Structure 1
């Protein structure tokens, strides 16, 4: 009889003890892993600087070559463009304008008393781009049209006096390649090589008899800093 009474008492106490126990806490499942990847799409603007060399050959029409020289120096300018990314492929268009100071000269092989000097003081590039991105690293090639502002001078080797000069705006083509790295939100830095090829051009000088046919190609290396408008990252689950 005593045992039965004890069991009844324990049965009555069990619900009360269970009610006193704290509710089992709810644990939220952790969110899925998210990888942030760089998005190269959008408008961008930037600055650039570097150096270049224009290999120039002067031929006196009807007589022969006056010789060649490299017009070398520095350049600084800016660029603006738009890129759009699909998968890892990146496509873009860009306009670039630079001031330059590429200059050089040589003694004429036809007229030993003369020196021929070439100077490039500005150039512009209008190009399309095709690139491939590894997250925040972009490698690309480019090509399009180029315009160059040239000045040509003939001066005396003995006195340095000017014998004639003229200026021209020359159109040609350009090809190049670059590597760019996104290093901070919206900012990227890169290096780029460009080659400009210009068609032969006949040049006459006021006060001088005859015509020079001038051939010119330009090679340059640039360091570029770009700011891209819009968000630089997208989330990938």
Structure 2
């Protein structure tokens, strides 16, 4: 009977201690879910607007000759005038991003332009070293609008896209001239659409999943335009204008 009582007392003393050890044991805790941040994709159509500034120099190659006079002459060369102005417009395009982060695309844009320049002057021309002809001239040109159709190729670091670009360029160039040499006077203006080429580079950043901000540089060559082509009784005059300019612009795109 005493042994039974002792065993009961002993077990009663151990139970609180066992409960305390049990309370200290850790139970498995479920780990929080891993949040996966999606990588931005440049694939898709986009539409946007831009503003920029451009300019360089209009170049005017010329040739003037007179074989009819007793003292004939032949003058040729070129002169340049600085061009500058703001422009603004829009663009539309499509990009496709490969699994290795390379991106190809195509873009077309159109700009209303204020890029222009004008030059005028006077000169005395020596003819065979002993005669002089008084001459004056003025010329000016303006890129009224222009656009490009370009391919794009670059590499994307998530939301940052660095690319090179190039393709065709087109634009409407309006030019005027006035030439006065001795008793000869001529003036006129021409305006036509010209085609050429363009090349450049840009950087684009995704602000959100739909909105991106871009900066871009382009060199544009719209070729040559004839201003003067005169042939009359041995007198010949020819004047062209070459339209080339640099542009830098910033814009916003909405990606669909």
TM-score (norm: length of structure 2): 0.73
- The answer on 1:163 being equivalent to 2:187 is yes
Q: Is 1:81 the equivalent of 2:108?
A: no
SS in 1 for 2:114: strand
Determine the structure 1 residue equivalent to 2:107. 94
Deviation string 1:21-78 (CA, Å, 9 cap, x unpaired) is 99x9763222235233221111111111010004211122454235111221000000
Q: 1:139 aligns with which of 162, 173, 182?
A: 162
- Please report how far the alpha carbon of residue 91 of structure 1 lies from its aligned counterpart in structure 2 after TM superposition: 0.8
Report the secondary structure of 1:4's partner residue: helix
Q: 1:130-209 to 2 correspondence within 5 Å?
A: 130-155=153-178, 163-204=187-228
Inter-partner Cα distance in structure 2 for 1:120 and 1:54:
12
Are 1:106 and 2:119 an aligned pair?
yes
Task: Report the 3-state secondary structure (helix = DSSP H, G, I; strand = E; otherwise coil) of the residue aligned with 1:196.
Answer: strand
Query: Over residues 114-144 of structure 1, what are the superposed CA-to-partner deviations in whole Å (9 max), with x where a residue is unaligned?
Result: 2100100100100000011111111110000
1:190 shift after superposition: 1.8
Structure 1 moving runs of 4+ over 4 Å: 5-11, 108-112
- Compared CA separation, residues 112 and 99, structure 1 to 2 (3 A): farther
SS of residue paired to 2:42: coil
- Alignment counterpart, residue 217 of structure 1, candidates 229, 244, 254: 244
Matching residue of 2:4: 4
Which secondary structure does the structure 2 equivalent of 1:101 belong to? strand
TM-score w.r.t. the length of structure 1 is 0.79
- Superposed CA RMSD in Å reads 3.3
The gaps in structure 2 that reach 5 residues or longer are 65-74, 124-133, 181-185
CA–CA distance in 2 between the matches of 1:41 and 1:140? 14
Larger CA deviation: 98-107 vs 25-34: 25-34
Mind listing any 5+ residue stretches in structure 1 that lack a counterpart? Answer: 230-237
- Residue 228 in structure 1 maps to residue 251 in structure 2: no
Q: Which residue of 1 aligns with 2:81?
A: 69
Which of 1 and 2 has greater Rg? Answer: 2
